[in-house]
Amino acid sequence: MLLKSRPILAVEDSDQDFDVLEMCLKTAGVLNPVQRCASGEEIRNYFERMERAAASEIPVFVFLDLNLPGIRGADVLARLKRHKTLNPVPVVVLTTSSQVRDVDLSYSLGAAGFLTKPLDLDKFEKMIQHVADYWFSCVKLPENAERAR
């Protein structure tokens, strides 16, 4: 299973932020398809769909914004980590918040990283570049071999 063909999931309610994220990913040379959930309802549907998903449909990693309409970001994170198929997938929190309590809570719920969205485009690009380098070039990601069979 090629990592490059599996999707990246972005849980993001803001269209601009999603737009910028997609652009930054492209700039960083990431060619994976980017799927998006923009609301609590979409997330719930997605979770349901993913329960019967093929290994190729499981995302490589997840960008999670904590502020979402209809559902609390911390709840999404907790449910991701309890999800039948999604639980091994690294979740990187990408949010406006830099509050200590959000940082602490995210890691305790199983986040793999916590990024505060910068206002500066260059900084944003650099940050996404680091993330892509890290996940695709440094570390070994879960393969979902069990489900691939």
Q: Which residues contribute to the site for another protein (CB under 8 A)?
A: 14-17, 20, 23, 67, 96-100, 117, 119-122, 124
Cα separation, 98 vs 116, whole angstroms: 6
Shortest distance (Å) from residue 16 CB to another protein: 3
Buried b (16+ CB within 10 A) or exposed e, 31-59: ebebebbbebebbeebbeebeebeeeebb
Shortest distance (Å) from residue 67 CB to another protein: 4
Measured from the CB atom, the residue of 114 and 124 that comes closer to another protein is 124
Measured from the CB atom, the residue of 5 and 67 that comes closer to another protein is 67
Q: Is the dihedral of CA 32, 12, 66, 127 positive or negative?
A: positive
Measured from the CB atom, the residue of 52 and 101 that comes closer to another protein is 101
